[in-house]
A and B are shown apart, each in its own frame.
Chain A
Amino acid sequence: MDINLMFYLIPSLIMFCCGVYGFITRKNMIAILISLELMLNAVDINFVVFNRFLFPGELEGMFFTLFAIAIAAAETALAIAIIINIFRVTKNIDIRDLNKMKF
């Protein structure tokens, strides 16, 4: 069987959708962060795969992926810090309780 582009793209899409689904349904903020990580990683796969399959002579996608991973790490760190802050104040990291400000 010939491994083509779709074999990568479809799992990455599924990953992305899982991420989105997880973000929307999970209560725990850490779980949501993990979902976000899934989404970002799906993007990374996309870039790498496009680069590898379609434009094998260049490295743009690869580099982009590297940067994206770095950014994702920064995001996660920051998000964790803020979540810890929240936990300090409310002793709770249920996302659904974060609705004091609305309408």
Chain B
Amino acid sequence: MDQITSVLILALPLCMFLLLGVFGNKMSHKMAGILGTLGMGVTLILAYSTAFTYFFSGSELFIDAAGNRLQSVVFDHTWLAFTDNLVIKLGFLLDPISAMMLVVITTISFMVHLYSLGYMHGETGFQRYYAFLSLFSFSMLGLVVATNIFQMYIFWELVGASSYLLIGFYYTKPSAVSASKKAFIVTRFADLGFLVGILILSFYTNTFDFVSMTSNPQNVLASTGGAMFMGGSVLTWALVLIFMGGMGKSAMMPLHIWLPDAMEGPTPVSALIHAATMVVAGVFLVARMFPVYLMEVTALEIVTWVGALTALYAAIVACTQVDIKRVLAFSTISQIAFMMVALGVARDTIHEGVGYMASMFHLFTHAMFKALLFLGAGALIHAVHSNDYTSMGGLRKYMPITHITFLIGCLAIAGIPPFAGFFSKDEILVAAFENSPLWGIWMTAVAGLTAFYMFRLYYRIFWWNEPDYEHHGHVPHDAPWTMTLPLIILAAVSCVAGFIPFGELVSWNREAYHIHLNIPVAATSVIVAVCAIALATVMYRKENSLPDKVANSVKGLWTAAYNRFYFDELYLFITHKIIFNLVSRPIAWFDRHIIDGSMDMFATLAHKASGAIKGLQSGNIQSYVLIYLMGALLIGVVTVVCVVIL
């Protein structure tokens, strides 16, 4: 693997960003779009060749004689040296997961670039859009190839910023502005945890480097053993805090609230950032640090709990949402939670750490089919000009390509064989059952819910009842080829991705792992999924009153779920009522009136004192003389008392 290729993978998108960002206004839309897409295309080719070289060249750089894959640092350039050991390097770490991520990111990114040529056609700020996409791709690529935790943090922040810019792309729309702000601040809050985690970890390990941290965690982490803080070991704290960063980016409860709002951004952006790549950064982070997490099972248990609760929560909420992008957003949250659970239940002692492999596998397949779903949703929105499924229905006739590809996506996510989601989800369930039946059952139930809400969505869009499209001015139709082509490609990938021998390529200890279907688990999950789909079919295939009845029968739960269990309100309360009104405002008031007031008070006091003693200068000589004499005598007497008597 030569350095130039790897440098180019990062540099090309960055150059595209600078080029489009600085000179974009001078270019035509077409020029900018094509330039951006071409740049991404070249990056795609380079990334693919890199990944293929890594996985299949058999070079001793990448795989040892025993068949274990190796971590290969292609280059590692010192960027900022804090101390001799704590050094931020910008490097390129090639190992199974980063190679896999390279493929995922470049694929989806390229698809989105292509798709956007059609979707964003004629939008103002088209060049800016492509510039930001390039920036995002650069940041995300930098994140996954990070050789050290600080590099990851750097790019972590950069993806956050590009996500902010892209969510707020329609900056004249107040909702988009506030959504972008929310996304940035919530993830920033999580990043605070990440940062503190890094600080704690690096303080004890004295290194940022992933390879040295993960290849020999026992030694590196030796000094953390004894140190305790507030009841937990330091390592637990550090790992949980680092995981907090992951929770923010990956929208785990309770830091998930930004993701549904992030759907304010252009739909291809949602596909790229908020479905396929950036949101899985948290999973990637835990996976990257997995050997360290294995040192501290408590932290992994927390990961599991957070993941499981989020998965269930998001699935329930997804069942009630009306906005198709929000349904997909909650579904994303839920699916990422699956990956988290998979990591959380994985142990090196159990089944060769199948959870880790499953998680990565699911990450891969999910990226494909969720991008597909989002792009499909984009095509729908493009056609109907609404995010709301109530203004859709019966679209299967008008948009056949979209319909088929969307259906494939739904089947994949529902875990129906032979689509991709089945295989990866199956592995997750296996891992969960291996860890504890509780998680197995729990996750199977969530998988059932997944199938249900996806098909609810599917039926509401493509079946149900057809609204009067003529009345709205135009009849929906399939999108141009730039948009449908990515759909078709992704659909094809979703169909076949499950058959990739993923375990051979990726596993926690980089030894080859042979996937074999665990028939009981697979059968259970498929049966649950099919039942759920059937239920959805009953309820939503034709317009009927059944959904309302169901909703009414569990009215409390339904309303709560519809309002996303009031998390947003809670946050609003905390930010506005507590942070703003009870902290910031009082502090600002305190500053203006107490601190500043006390400074002003000195001035006022001086003036007051000046006014108070003005009587001394009465203009009357006799009082002058009296004061003169009294002053002299007073000083004299005091001196006498002090010097002579004391």
Contact = CB atoms under 8 A, between A and B. Distances in A.
Interface of A: 20, 23-25, 95-96, 98-103
Given A98-B621, A103-B619, 5 more contacts: A24-B625, A24-B626, A96-B622, A98-B619, A99-B619
Most A Cβ at <10 Å: residue of B617, B618, B619: B619
B83 interface: no
B545 interface: no
Query: Lowest 5 CB-CB distances: which A-B pairs, in order?
Result: A102-B619, A99-B619, A103-B614, A24-B622, A103-B617
Contacts of A100: 619
B629 interface: yes
Interface in B597-629: 614, 617-622, 625-626, 629
Contacts of A23: 622, 625
Nearest to A23: B625
Question: What's the dominant secondary structure at chain B's contact region?
Answer: helix
A39 B622 CA distance: 15
Contacts of B625: 20, 23-24
5 contacts: A98-B620, A98-B621, A99-B619, A102-B618, A103-B614
Contacts of A96: 620, 622
Interface string B269-293: 0000000000000000000000000
Contacts of B614: 103
Contacts of B618: 99, 102-103
A99 B626 contact: no
Nearest to B621: A95
A99 B620 CA distance: 6
Nearest to A25: B622
A101 B618 CA distance: 8
B619 A101 contact: yes
Interface of B: 614, 617-622, 625-626, 629
Contacts of A24: 622, 625-626
A101 B614 CA distance: 12
A100 B621 CA distance: 12
B591 to A, nearest CB: 36
A99 B619 CA distance: 4
Nearest to B613: A103
A100 B625 CA distance: 17
A94 B619 CA distance: 13
A103 B610 CA distance: 10
Contacts of B620: 95-96, 98-99, 102
Given A20-B629, A103-B614, A95 B622 contact: yes
A94 B629 CA distance: 22
Nearest to B626: A24
A95 B619 CA distance: 10
Nearest to A98: B621
From B614, B620, B622, B626, residue with most partner A Cβ within 10 Å: B622
Contacts of B626: 24
Contacts of A20: 625, 629
A67 to B, nearest CB: 24
Contacts of B629: 20
Nearest to A101: B619
A64 to B, nearest CB: 21
Contacts of A98: 619-621
A95 B625 CA distance: 13
Residue among B614, B617, B618, B620 with the highest chain A CB neighbour number at 10 A: B620
A102 B621 contact: no
Contacts of B619: 98-103
Nearest to A102: B619
A99 B625 CA distance: 14
A102 B621 CA distance: 10
Contacts of A95: 620-622
A39 to B, nearest CB: 11
B622 A102 contact: no
Contacts of A103: 614, 617-619
Nearest to A96: B620
A20 B624 CA distance: 12
A24 B625 CA distance: 7
A13 B179 CA distance: 91
Contacts of B622: 23-25, 95-96
A23 B627 CA distance: 13
A24 B380 CA distance: 103
Nearest to A26: B622
Contacts of A101: 619
A36 B626 CA distance: 14
Nearest to A99: B619
A94 to B, nearest CB: 11
Contacts of A99: 618-620
A86 B614 CA distance: 26
B134 to A, nearest CB: 74
B31 to A, nearest CB: 80
A4 B61 CA distance: 119
A96 B624 CA distance: 12
